[in-house]
Amino acid sequence: MKYFYVSFIIAVAGLVAAYFLGGFAAVYLTAILAVLEVSLSFDNAVVNAKILKTMDEVWQKRFLTWGIIIAVFGMRLVFPVIIVAVAAGLSLQDTIHIALFDPEKYHQILLSAEKLIYAFGGAFLWMVFSDFLFEEKEVRWIKPFERTAEKFGRVNNISLIVAMIIGIIVTYDAKSYEVAIAYFLGLLSYSILKGVNEAFSAEGVKSGLMGLLYLEVLDASFSFDGVIGAFAITPNIWLIMIGLGVGAMFVRSLTIWMVEKGVLDEYKYLEHGAHYAIGVLAVIMLLKIFFHVGELITGTLGLGLLIAAFVHSKIEKTTK
């Protein structure tokens, strides 16, 4: 429990703040938003833990301190404001004014840019999943499927090739050059961050700065769904920031717990479940370009895969 003390303190402070903003109804909505964020980002915690294990201890601490500030205020508040400003052609000052005093208009502008957001996030997350799927593994979960994928992985740049094919299909059906630009910017961002990170890695230890940037872009891709879906619960920008921020704190606590307790080593299929959940999220984000898919479906599928991987790991561990 010691890993979650700070998160619980912040949760209590957030719920108290929500009460002063709107009474018990606001407290209830804030709690729902926090649960939504954790359910959508649990797999994010697993992947973060995997990457943090390969980073220098100094940069681990920086991610867990600076990273939470960027995650809560940057990705859950500032980043959506920037997206709305660009989408509507407004100044940041005007956009902040709309967010605070006309949240319904803010929501509508954000919705007008959601296809671009989903295209970027879907492309980035697909590459995260695809690289894991095609790489050669010491541990396999769904063995026949993963062995077949590893054979295709011998083809140079297979992840990028598959992503390009998916991008052509998606952008052709969407009939939007903006969606195409957003999708391929997602691929480009992933490729640049991965390439630079590998170039500056040494003896299996990931580059600190580039590893931090990679984790923050990954976190942003996960947060898109939560930020947009949050408006279905409440238009109040303050409650959204508090609720998603509290959820992000618990995701960080889960990450620390997994790293320090060696959870990924103990439950060997958990990493697989997280990456399959990321793959499902990437597909759903791309599908959302064409039609609505509820956050309940997204969260349930992702959490279901993680639970299945955890249970399977536990069974194998106890039978040995």
**For the segment 204-241, what is each residue's pLDDT rounded down to a tens digit?**
555 567 777 777 777 777 676 677 767 767 777 788 88
Q: What span, in angstroms and rounded, lies between the C-alpha atoms of 247 and 15?
A: 12
Of 143-147, 167-171, 252-256, give the lowest mean pLDDT range. Answer: 252-256
Tell me what the mean pLDDT of segment 246-253 comes to: 85
Of 10-14, 267-271, 282-286, 297-301, give the lowest mean pLDDT range. Answer: 297-301
pLDDT of residue 89 exceeding 80, the answer is: no
Tell me what the mean pLDDT of segment 14-22 comes to: 91
Residue 207: both structure tokens together: 């580059």
Question: What is the percent of the chain where pLDDT is above 90?
Answer: 12
Structure confidence at residue 161 (pLDDT): 93
- The values of phi and psi at residue 295, to 5°, are -65, -30
> How far lies 149's CA from each of 85, 125, 133, 162, 256, in Å?
41, 18, 6, 12, 31
pLDDT of residue 148 exceeding 60, the answer is: yes
Structure confidence at residue 17 (pLDDT): 93
Structure confidence at residue 72 (pLDDT): 66
Of 135-139, 156-160, 195-199, 272-276, give the lowest mean pLDDT range. Answer: 195-199
Residue 226: both structure tokens together: 């939560």
Confidence band of 168 (pLDDT split at 50, 70, 90) = very high
pLDDT of residue 273 exceeding 70, the answer is: yes
Structure confidence at residue 13 (pLDDT): 93
What tens digit of pLDDT does each residue of 30-44 get?
898 888 788 777 777
Of 41-45, 120-124, 198-202, give the lowest mean pLDDT range. Answer: 198-202
Tell me what the mean pLDDT of segment 167-181 comes to: 89
Confidence band of 320 (pLDDT split at 50, 70, 90) = low
Structure confidence at residue 165 (pLDDT): 94
Q: What is the mean pLDDT of the chain?
A: 81
Tell me what the mean pLDDT of segment 90-98 comes to: 83
Structure confidence at residue 208 (pLDDT): 64
Confidence band of 164 (pLDDT split at 50, 70, 90) = very high
pLDDT of residue 101 exceeding 70, the answer is: yes
| 236-252 burial code (b ≥16 CB/10 A, e <16) | bbbbbbbbbbbbbbbbb
